[in-house]
Amino acid sequence: PVAKQRCTLYCQSKETRVVVNMQELVEPGIRCSYKDPYSVCVYGECEKVDCVNVVGSPLLEDKCGVCSGDGTSCKTHRFNFTFADKKGVIKVLEIPRGARHLLIQELNGTANILAVKNKATGDFFLNSHGDYPETRSVIEKGLEWQYENKNFKDTIQTDGPLKNDVVIMVST
């Protein structure tokens, strides 16, 4: 939505993806944007907050998610997976709650499809069985996930932090 409407409630149909303005304000404290963790809605207005949700304070999280941190406590994990003759839906990786700056990608074009599910519920929220993998954004537990399928190479990204554990799956 346009900047002046960021604190207005919108709903989107899962089936048709049609977006409807609900003509009411979101609850105070809701993020103004999925891309800006430091702005929240306060009675219809978007206000800047710090990393402990104080309006007007200069404190910020570092790249590791530490309030007023120096960026040295991050842990980077890199994994390479190769699938031989396995068929079906295969678990690739579990990612814990709190993880940030996720980038999951296929390095070479394949017919495989990357998918993500909530570990606790077992529900897929990105590319469930039978979904056609089109490039899109999905909102799950208040986070925006970007999925891209370009030249048969899947890429999944989110800034996080994850609100719950997720499982990365691949459909071969």
Predicted pLDDT of residue 15: 80
What domains lie within the chain, and their CATH numbers?
3-48 (no CATH), 89-171 (2.60.120.830)
Question: CB–CB of 20/10 below 8 Å?
Answer: yes
Write down the pLDDT at residue 2: 67
d(CA 40, CA 112): 38
pLDDT average, residue stretch 72-90: 82
What pLDDT, on a 0 to 100 scale, did the predictor assign at position 1?
55
12-40: pLDDT as tens digits = 887 887 989 999 999 998 889 888 888 89
Rounded CA separation 66/1 (Å): 30
**Regarding predicted confidence, which is higher, 105 or 58?**
105
